[in-house]
Amino acid sequence: MAAELRLEVRGLVAGYGSNLVLRGVDFHVAAGEVVTLLGANGSGKSTALNTISGFVRAAAGAVLLDGTDITGLPPHQSFRRGVVQVSQRRDLFGDLSVDDNLRLGAVVRGDAESGLAQVLELFPKLAERRHQPVSTMSGGEQQMVAIGRALMSEPRILLLDEPSGGLAPALVKEIGGITARLKQAGRTMLVVEQNLRLALELCDRFIILRDGQVVEGGRASELEGSYDDIVRTIYL
């Protein structure tokens, strides 16, 4: 039996004012699958995430979540339906504690305790620093808070925009381990990641965007050749 489609993107056109970035993008993410969007800077990866989650309005095309058209919904409504994005900025409340930031993610559920226990088990460092202001934490620790807060809302699909961006190599490895555990737990994820090795280790499938269009895609396990060969395949 074919896997249930969690997200479908059909002919998506979007951009900023008269500047179109996405020019008819089609792809899907099955339930429990991890798909990575690859491509050079400016290819439309982040715009795709922002359009799916409602931060950018689609000019044409459709976004379907579990078969329901959510195209054009504002971000708070997409969030309530289970589309949860962790942006590159993380968008945390620096003056609030780790605990308070995490609990904000459960507002739509009303019950934070069960989700909080699971998040703190996934992020032991956060359990040690529950009462620490987020602004005093390292970039990697803040990324953990951002992902943890997203998980508190029990997302249908988790959108991660550059989860390893700007982090030291040791923290990149740690974030990679966390996303791998989320994958093993069956989380459905759509990820934008410039660290190619991490992206290919994490995903079930990859999609390559170039100039706002899908030019190639496939399963990471089917890629052959050296790392340089793969880079040429994806970016050239």
C-alpha distance from residue 204 to each of 31, 36, 72, 217, 232 (Å): 12, 8, 28, 11, 20
The whole-number mean pLDDT for each consecutive block of 10 residues of the chain, a chain of 236 residues, reads 83 92 96 92 92 95 96 93 88 88 78 77 88 89 89 92 80 83 91 86 90 87 67 68
Helix (H, G, I), strand (E, B) or coil at 198: helix
Question: Within 13 Å, how many C-alpha atoms sit on residue 205's CB side?
Answer: 15
Q: Write down the pLDDT at residue 166.
A: 75
Helix (H, G, I), strand (E, B) or coil at 123: coil
pTM: 0.89
Question: What's the one-letter identity of residue 193?
Answer: E
Q: Write down the pLDDT at residue 227.
A: 63
Residue 42: CB partners within 8 Å, gap ≥ 6? 21
User: Which of 37, 86, 12, 69 minimizes the C-alpha distance to 192?
Assistant: 37
Task: Please state which of the four CATH numbers 3.40.50.2000, 3.40.50.300, 3.40.50.150, 3.30.200.20 is assigned to the domain occupying 35-43+74-235.
Answer: 3.40.50.300
The rounded distance, in Å, linking the Cα atoms of 25 and 63 is 10
User: Which of 96, 210, 203 minimizes the C-alpha distance to 142?
Assistant: 96
